Amino acid sequence: METLQLLNSGSKQLKSKRIISHKIDSEILLSKVLKKRREEIISTLDKKITPDQIIKFKNLIKRRSFREPIAYITKEKEFWSKIFEVNKNTLIPRPETELMVEKLTKIFKKKPISILDIGTGSGCIIISLLSELKKSNGIGLDISGKSILIAKKNADKHLKSNNLKLLKRSFTSLFNKKFDLIVSNPPYIMSKDLKNLDDDIRKFEPKLALDGGNDGLDVVKKVIYKAKEILKINGTLALEIGNGQYNKVSKILLRNKFIIMEKVKDYNDNIRCLISKLNR
């Protein structure tokens, strides 16, 4: 079988399952099997594919047809122009999170700061920040030991200096340490809304990183309360929030003596991150 035939058969199978990205998904999965870049595969559509490669490709297509995210099948996701290892124990990095990283790197450019990343997951936020803010240091916390293992692999790959510590522990147990910047992409989806998420998310991404409790703000509130205790004077809190949560979260921040400095919007013009300073 030739490349074009195989790509078309994969795309057709995914399309029958109403997967919108069927064409590109088929290309990505074949590039994974052949260990070649997508562009290279597309430019050699008459290349013969071996029976063993065909079997591997069909198995990957089957997994995707059950809505397993491409990032979990390929075990990687691009973020901040870097390839991060991911698996079912970590959230898949999103484009809106890159916008938060972009804003923070502009704010703290050339300033040596201490950073705490709460719920680090794959480590994509703290690793991306430290790759830009080279004189800074950071700590990434996660209660999932399996997430920390993935974050450590990503840190080894992308950070040349050992300016990052990754620890399996809850941020609520952190004492006797102060930070210039605290970042967090906490779970912020209401428990009752989890069942309405797309199958790609609901069936595969870790519930622990999604479920924000009855109002979606259980962990958000805890992060704000803790940040007040462990931020340095004039310290900064960068918090990713859900679509439509701006009003509620901004009120919680103001009540806890934070002044909102920046509102970061996603590509649909929704406020998805709040950057605030502690006003002691």
Task: Give the per-residue pLDDT at 160.
Answer: 84
| C-alpha closest to that of 265 among 114, 100, 131 | 100
Task: Write phi, then psi, for 147 (nearest 5 degrees).
Answer: -65, -45
Domains 3-66 and 77-278 share a fold: no
Give per-10-residue mean pLDDT for the chain (280 aa). Answer: 93 96 96 91 86 96 97 96 96 94 95 96 97 95 96 95 93 90 94 90 90 91 95 95 95 96 95 92
For the domain 77-278, what is the CATH superfamily, name and number? Vaccinia Virus protein VP39 (3.40.50.150)
Task: Write phi, then psi, for 180 (nearest 5 degrees).
Answer: -80, -35
Pick the CATH number of 3-66 from 1.10.8, 1.20.120, 2.40.30, 1.10.3470: 1.10.8
Task: Give the per-residue pLDDT at 279.
Answer: 84
For residue 49, give the 3-state DSSP assignment: coil
Look-up: residue for tokens 């979260």?
249
CA distances from 43 to 1, 27, 40, 77, 113 (A): 16, 12, 5, 23, 46
Task: Give the per-residue pLDDT at 179.
Answer: 97
Q: Residue 106's CB: how many other CB atoms inside 10 A?
A: 10
Give the Cα separation of 69 and 91 in Å (integer): 11
The residue extents of the domains of the chain are: 3-66, 77-278
The angle that helices 246-255 and 218-230 make with each other, rounded to 10 degrees, is 30
Task: Give the per-residue pLDDT at 43.
Answer: 82
Look-up: residue for tokens 């898949």?
92
Within 8 A by CB and 6+ apart from 196, the residues are none
Give the Cα separation of 105 and 111 in Å (integer): 10
Contact 86, 93 (CB under 8 A): yes
Which tokens in the block code for residue 210? 């999604």
Look-up: residue for tokens 């974050």?
151
